[in-house]
Amino acid sequence: MFGTVAVLYPGDMGHGVAAALGAGGRRVVTALAGRSAETRARAERTGIEDLETLEAVVADADLLVSILPPAAALGLAHDVSEAMSCVGRRPTYVDANAVAPTTAAAIADEIAKAGAPFVDGGIIGGSPRPGGKPTRLYVSGPDAASLAALSQEDAGLAIRTVGSEVGQASGLKMAYAALTKGTMTLQAAVLMLARRLGLHEALGAELAQSQPEAWKRMGVLPFLPADAERWVGEMQEIATTFEAADLPRGFHDAAADVFRAMAATPFAAETRETVDRSRTLDQAIEAFLAGHDRGRAS
C-alpha cells in the first residue's frame, strides 16, 4: 500500500520524512517547479524524484504528504484538489503541517471537493534521522489507520494514531508547540526585558544560581532566527486554537511578535546548516531588541 509517496515539499522536515519513507522501500516523489535551489539540492541528496508539477504528482502518487509553512497549507490543498479534479485521480492526502484544528478542517474541506481521502497530521520532533529517537507523525481522521504501515522507526519516523476525528492530530501538535516554542519565546522576551532595564548581568547570574536548567536551555536562543519567520505563522495558528477553545490567545500572539523580532535580524538569513554557532546569547538578545524596535517603527 502507498508504493509511491509524494512529499510536498522537501524542506528541512520534509526531506527527512522523505528519506525515512524511502528507507522503507517506497518510491518518493515531489514537484519542484518554482522551488528554491536549496530545496532542489535537498531533494537530490535524498533521492527524491522530481515530477515537476502537481498534476504529474497526483497522476503518479498513491499518497500525498503536505509539509510546508502553515500559512501555505490551505493554498496547497486548494491547488492539489484542483489537480485531482483535472487528472481524475484521488490519492490520499495527509496534511502534516502545524495548523489549528479549524485550519485542518478547512483543508479537509478542500480535499473533499475532489473526493479524496484526507488524514489530519501533526509532526512532533526534529527532522527524522536514522538511529535517533523517532520523530512522531500523529494522525487522526476516519482514514488515519491506513498510514500505520508507513512507520519506519529505525529510519527515524513513527506513525501514531491519536483519534478518529479530523483536527485531533493538529490539536495535539498545537498544544505541544504551545509549550515548547512558547517557552522559548518567553525566555527570549524575559532576557530582552532584562537587557532593556540594564539588569541582564544580574538576571543571568541569578538564573545560573537558582534556575540552572532553565538558564542552560536558554543557550539555544541565539540559533532560532533561521526558523523564526515560519514559526510566526505557527504561533498564530496556536493562538487561533486557544481562542477556538475559549481560552486566552494572547500568550501566543506575543510569541509570534518575539519570532517576528528574531526574523527581523540579519541572523534570519541563515539556514540550519549555516547558523553561526559562535554567536553569544548577549549578541542575540541585542539583535532581537533591535529587530523588535524596527518592527514597531515600521
pLDDT digits (tens, 9 = 90+) for 19-69: 999 998 999 999 998 878 888 888 888 889 999 999 999 999 999 999 999
Q: 172-297 — its CATH code?
A: 1.10.1040
Please, which residues have CB within 8 angstroms of residue 60's CB and are 6 or more apart in sequence? 4, 6, 29, 51
Q: Where are the domains of the chain?
A: 4-164, 172-297
Which tens digits make up the pLDDT trace of 123-170?
999 999 998 899 999 999 999 999 999 999 999 999 999 999 999 999
Dump pLDDT digits (tens) for 166-188: 999 999 999 999 999 999 999 99
Q: What is the largest CA-CA distance in the chain?
A: 65
219-232 confidence digits (pLDDT tens): 999 999 999 999 99
- What pTM does this model have? 0.94
Homologous superfamily assigned to 4-164? NAD(P)-binding Rossmann-like Domain (3.40.50.720)
List the one residue out of 220, 205, 245, 62 whose CA is nearest residue 143: 62
Q: Mean of the per-residue pLDDT values for the chain? A: 95
The whole-number pLDDT of residue 273 equals 85
